[in-house]
A and B are shown apart, each in its own frame.
Chain A
């Protein structure tokens, strides 16, 4: 406490206060809490108060004081190769752990590199707290070295962001940002931390993370709304539950399962809602939307009462608005009032927590909808439009086969992550998901390169007995491949399956369908050999070309205790179907290119 010695002799009260703090700090340090002496230690202490155990980031000038404070903290910091990786890792960590993931970066390029990851978390309503260094307060606005208006840049992609102005309040601000991020409809928050404020002395102990005033989310829905919605469900003949990502975020998967089974209502999910309902259940029709199953899209087209829970009716789900669930009265349960009637008019809005509102509805309902025929119809569609693909053992590998091989070789609690593109669709179509928080992907923003860093984040949040498998595309993998260095350094037990077709495959598929096969900027005439590249990073690598190598290689990669990469050379012409063309009716999904 050399700073105490510097106190002027007449500041008796102040020095007494500091001694008390030092004593407190000493006793608290025993439980591993960081003693607060300045802005940086207050920030770290606020994170500890929130129960943070891991943080992902990259060092740099303006954030150095905060990193220095982390030196003494029990928080484990994972140094990523690039800030985008830190943001995706934090996002995925938050998805799996059900708490805000923490991303750290310095000012300027550090902060702007986070932007893609923050935007991704924002689109998928993922809890995440970004802490960015900033140039000292008196230099802000002067175009100083590595200065960016970070709060300005991230304003449209955060739930809220803060510019920290004083060390005395910085800890509580970080606590507010942490609490706001995970409350209600989750989303990313950011606190910009000028270097001088991080250095500034303070003995203000931040408390437990607390929501800012007036930000408490709604819980129970209005009784009149519940009454009206319950009546609508009771009289429905073709009711359909549409479970979105909000069900998982609200930890309402169990309640949703009970609701569907008790009332005999078939279920479709959105892509972010994958895992909220077991796909092997007879009521489940898997996910609807652009590349959803034929039977889910038939059901959503013909339902007369669509009960959307925690979904924002994204355009990849709805297809053309004019033909979306055209016969359905819509019950919309959401914690965010602004989602009600934003894209699809809600006849029966119920604003509140997903699980609580479903329980309210069950409580209010006097009878089950008479839906026997409808359930039979849904079962018929399942048989009529099976998710299937043909395998020719002498032809190049089918990607679906690889996804299924991994699914067979792993437990139900395995976490699947993905990049963005065709491989993402095959993974989500052909993996049979049964548990929430086992599908981690970039849905709303569609960020190629999400896969590997998300896998790293998910690995840190996963239980030891959970496998973490990433399906990636060759193009997507190459966008953030440098994060393999982190996986090796941390010796993470992860498996990356690259479905390599030497194309930006989804673009190639669209060019074939809509641009007369003109493969502008979608063909790679050379791709690195990912098995060798993996070995160069220090990971284990394989290359697989043939069907008879698949099972053994999958087994070997899963058994390998560390990061492993399998470069599967798949059929370069494999396409993703079913497909609802952009803006087309869901019920007119194409089963092949000639049906588009």
Chain B
């Protein structure tokens, strides 16, 4: 039992010594004289996942509940049956991007996570329906942006465009003069350039086999391609802001 029985004692808060150091909102020690909140940047993250029911809900839920700012998310099959690739664009300060990658990697169906750096190859597909009043001019713009006319009727013309974000934005500006009626965009998807695997340790499917088969480091030129992965039929794109 307490011996003193005087209640809490000690110097008042303002009488105590206090260090001068400070941390910023990311918990990084900073020079208090210098404002040092990190800027946001945009990161393209690729994740290889097991294509099981609910996997999209798990990922979307994770990003939503941890308030990671997600600009787009696309999903599609890979060379490995039962796997799918997610491509996400995230805008966060540096520690947030790292957090997003690590939290993503913790999800059980997520096999590996990588950030696409150094000019990845990225592309997006866009369908747009424009007013059909000036078919020749529409055709000219479509040719200029390497697009393809999918449907031409008396009232509307539907065009398909592919390319990087900036090209698509330029093209859309050009089509605005005709009156854009509807747009559907897949959101960008991407692969790492050259021999670099898109997610760490990623390997193509061996001949007609599934996950877990040893191959020697991405040197195989297995032509099986995405068509084999018919199970991963779900493909979904989402753009939020």
Most A C-beta atoms less than 10 A away, residue of B12, B13, B57:
B13
11 chain-A/chain-B pairs, Cβ below 8 angstroms = A163-B53, A302-B17, A322-B22, A326-B21, A327-B21, A341-B95, A341-B98, A345-B28, A388-B9, A389-B5, A404-B1
Most A C-beta atoms less than 10 A away, residue of B7, B8, B28:
B8
A321 touching B106 by the CB < 8 A rule? no
**What is the distance, in angstroms, from A388's C-beta to the closest C-beta of chain B?**
5
A323 to chain B: closest residue by CB: B22
A157 to chain B: closest residue by CB: B65
Q: Bits for A389-400, please: 1 = Cβ < 8 Å to B, else 0.
A: 111000000001
Contacts of A520 in B (CB 8 A): none
Contacts of A321 in B (CB 8 A): 23, 25, 27
Q: Is B154 an interface residue (CB 8 A)?
A: no
- Interchain CA distance A338-B25 in the complex, whole Å: 17
A294 touching B13 by the CB < 8 A rule? no
Contacts of A163 in B (CB 8 A): 53-54
Contacts of B236 in A (CB 8 A): none
- Interchain CA distance A294-B9 in the complex, whole Å: 10
Contacts of B12 in A (CB 8 A): 591, 595
A386 touching B65 by the CB < 8 A rule? no
Known: A160-B107, A340-B102, A344-B27. 9 other contacts (CB 8 A): A151-B54, A159-B108, A294-B10, A323-B23, A336-B106, A345-B29, A389-B7, A587-B19, A590-B13
Contacts of A342 in B (CB 8 A): 99
**What is the distance, in angstroms, from A255's C-beta to the closest C-beta of chain B?**
25
Q: Bits for B196-219, please: 1 = Cβ < 8 Å to A, else 0.
A: 000000000000000010000000
- Interchain CA distance A427-B6 in the complex, whole Å: 19
**What is the distance, in angstroms, from A230's C-beta to the closest C-beta of chain B?**
20
Known: A160-B108, A326-B23, A585-B18. Contact between A389 and B28, CB under 8 A?
Answer: no
Known: A156-B65, A337-B102. Contact between A390 and B7, CB under 8 A?
Answer: yes
Q: Is A31 an interface residue (CB 8 A)?
A: no
Q: Bits for B146-176, please: 1 = Cβ < 8 Å to A, else 0.
A: 0000000000000000000000000000000
Interface residues of A in 282-334 (CB under 8 A from B): 294, 298, 301-302, 313, 321-324, 326-327
Contacts of A159 in B (CB 8 A): 108
B10 touching A389 by the CB < 8 A rule? no
Q: Is A8 an interface residue (CB 8 A)?
A: no
Contacts of B106 in A (CB 8 A): 336, 338
A385 touching B13 by the CB < 8 A rule? no
- Interchain CA distance A342-B98 in the complex, whole Å: 9
Contacts of B4 in A (CB 8 A): 386, 388
- Interchain CA distance A389-B5 in the complex, whole Å: 5
Which residues of A are interface residues toward B (Cβ below 8 A)? 151-152, 155-156, 159-160, 163, 180, 212-215, 294, 298, 301-302, 313, 321-324, 326-327, 336-338, 340-345, 384-391, 400-401, 404, 408, 577-578, 585, 587-592, 595
For chain B, the count of residues having a C-beta within 8 Å of the partner chain is 44
Q: Is B111 an interface residue (CB 8 A)?
A: yes
Task: Name the one of A215, A588, A591 contacting B10, with C-beta atoms under 8 angstroms.
Answer: A591
**What is the distance, in angstroms, from A497's C-beta to the closest C-beta of chain B?**
16
Question: Which 5 interchain pairs have the tightest Cβ spacing?
Answer: A326-B21, A344-B27, A338-B102, A385-B10, A588-B13
Q: Is B26 an interface residue (CB 8 A)?
A: yes
Contacts of A345 in B (CB 8 A): 23, 26-29, 95
Q: Is B233 an interface residue (CB 8 A)?
A: no
Q: Is B35 an interface residue (CB 8 A)?
A: no
Contacts of A344 in B (CB 8 A): 23, 27
Contacts of B8 in A (CB 8 A): 294, 385-389, 577-578, 591-592
A322 touching B108 by the CB < 8 A rule? no
- Interchain CA distance A573-B84 in the complex, whole Å: 60
**What is the distance, in angstroms, from B78's C-beta to the closest C-beta of chain A?**
16
Most B C-beta atoms less than 10 A away, residue of A301, A336, A388, A589:
A388
Contacts of A294 in B (CB 8 A): 8, 10
Q: Is B118 an interface residue (CB 8 A)?
A: no
**What is the distance, in angstroms, from A200's C-beta to the closest C-beta of chain B?**
19
Contacts of B6 in A (CB 8 A): 388, 390
Contacts of A588 in B (CB 8 A): 13, 16, 18
**What is the distance, in angstroms, from B84's C-beta to the closest C-beta of chain A?**
15
Known: A341-B98, A388-B2. Contact between A589 and B19, CB under 8 A?
Answer: no
**What is the distance, in angstroms, from A55's C-beta to the closest C-beta of chain B?**
24
Known: A163-B53, A313-B27. Contact between A384 and B22, CB under 8 A?
Answer: no
Most B C-beta atoms less than 10 A away, residue of A155, A159, A338, A387:
A338
Known: A215-B108, A341-B95, A345-B29. Contact between A326 and B19, CB under 8 A?
Answer: yes
A390 touching B11 by the CB < 8 A rule? no
A155 touching B23 by the CB < 8 A rule? no
**What is the distance, in angstroms, from A432's C-beta to the closest C-beta of chain B?**
12
B13 touching A589 by the CB < 8 A rule? yes
Contacts of B1 in A (CB 8 A): 401, 404, 408
Contacts of A385 in B (CB 8 A): 8-10
- Interchain CA distance A401-B8 in the complex, whole Å: 14
Contacts of A585 in B (CB 8 A): 18
B104 to chain A: closest residue by CB: A338
Contacts of B111 in A (CB 8 A): 214
A404 touching B29 by the CB < 8 A rule? no
A405 to chain B: closest residue by CB: B1
- Interchain CA distance A215-B110 in the complex, whole Å: 10
